């Protein structure tokens, strides 16, 4: 990897590990692929649980306060199926973002033996992260919460209790998209419900009393508005970053690209994989339950903090 000026801001210069220094071989790339990724961060776990509870609350209000009491059967069925499908896709995307290795560099691989195996050319420069003792690839940044260097790290998001990086950015984009969609759907249903209740003078408007119905719907409107605003902005910034092949950290640090940039559709295809298809919006694509169970049997969470 050729030396570049902006890399010196991220890396301190320390000697490589000697033969006597410890290096856990269980953190190799092959073993990393066979273990479950989960970050034991208190704030992140609380935020992740809150995300699920808020989605469940929205589903409860939409289903039991607005749709089931409705006299229009097809209105209830269509909107109920649509909302619940979007909610399942949103929570599935959240799980995949949280439990997918974002692109962690093996910890402690800066050994003399590993260096010799790279067969570096004269004048070729590499960097070692002093915090996790790993060879730092280009565009990798160290996360103080995950305690790892993450390839193409965009940012650490407490709401998914994980970094957003090279391997899970696709799922994070889907998460923000589906949350924005169910938030917009909930706001539209709230508008129709308020109009219907006011027109019918709150008679047979809901199985709950009018004050309780109003309170539940007001909280849902506030939640929907905040989630829609946040996730829509985040979705837009993520798509912009992908199309410009520039992470949020690189943008904030004004790092000049030393890599061959993949712009627009090339960037989208590199993140979502292959040509545009329905697989792009499917958070279950590539998921194997049997492989996940095998990973769990091999030692549980490998990358816990």
φ, ψ for residue 23, nearest 5 deg:
-145, 120
How do strand 155-157 and strand 127-129 relate by DSSP bridges? unpaired
Question: Which residues pair with residue 150 across a beta bridge?
Answer: 104, 141
Looking at the predicted structure, is the pLDDT value of residue 53 above 70? yes
228, containing H or E segment: helix 210-244
Q: Is the pLDDT of residue 17 over 60?
A: no
Q: Write out pLDDT tens, residues 241-252.
A: 898 888 888 888
Residue 157 appears among annotated catalytic residues: yes
Q: Across 68-77, 220-229, 259-268, which has the greatest mean pLDDT?
A: 220-229
* pLDDT tens per residue, range 260-299: 777 778 888 888 888 888 888 999 887 766 555 555 555 4
**Of 241, 236, 264, nearest in space to 251 by CA:** 241
Which tokens in the block code for residue 18?
């000697």
Within 10 angstroms of residue 264's Cβ, the number of other Cβ atoms is: 11
> Which position has the token pair 């002093």?
130
Q: Of these residues, 157, 163, 190, 205, which one is catalytic? A: 157
């Amino acid at each position: 990897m050729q030396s570049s000026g902006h890399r010196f801001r991220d890396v301190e210069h320390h000697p490589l590990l000697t033969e006597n220094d410890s290096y856990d071989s269980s953190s190799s790339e092959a073993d990393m692929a066979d273990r479950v990724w989960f970050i034991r961060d208190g704030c992140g776990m609380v935020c992740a649980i809150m995300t699920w509870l808020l989605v469940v609350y929205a589903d409860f209000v939409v289903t039991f306060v607005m749709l089931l009491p409705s006299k229009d059967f097809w209105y209830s069925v269509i909107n109920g199926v649509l909302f619940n499908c979007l909610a399942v896709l949103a929570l599935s995307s959240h799980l995949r973002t949280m439990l997918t290795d974002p692109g962690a560099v093996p910890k402690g691989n800066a050994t003399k033996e590993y260096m010799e195996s790279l067969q570096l050319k004269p004048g070729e420069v590499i960097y070692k992260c002093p915090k996790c003792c790993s060879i730092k690839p280009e565009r990798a940044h160290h996360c103080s919460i995950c305690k790892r260097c993450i390839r193409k790290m965009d940012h650490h998001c407490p709401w998914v209790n994980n970094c957003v990086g090279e391997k899970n950015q696709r799922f994070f984009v889907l998460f923000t998209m589906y949350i924005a969609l169910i938030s917009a759907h909930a706001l539209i249903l709230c508008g129709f419900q308020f109009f219907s209740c006011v027109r019918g003078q709150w008679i047979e408007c809901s199985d709950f009393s009018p004050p309780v119905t109003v309170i539940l719907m007001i909280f849902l409107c506030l939640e929907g508005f905040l989630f829609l605003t946040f996730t829509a902005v985040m979705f837009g910034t993520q798509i912009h970053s992908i199309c410009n092949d520039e992470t949020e950290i690189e943008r904030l640090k004004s790092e000049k690209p030393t890599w061959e940039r993949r712009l627009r559709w090339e960037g989208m295809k590199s993140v979502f994989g292959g040509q545009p298809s329905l697989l792009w919006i499917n958070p279950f694509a590539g998921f194997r339950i049997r492989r996940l169970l095998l990973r769990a049997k091999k030692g549980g969470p490998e990358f816990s903090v």
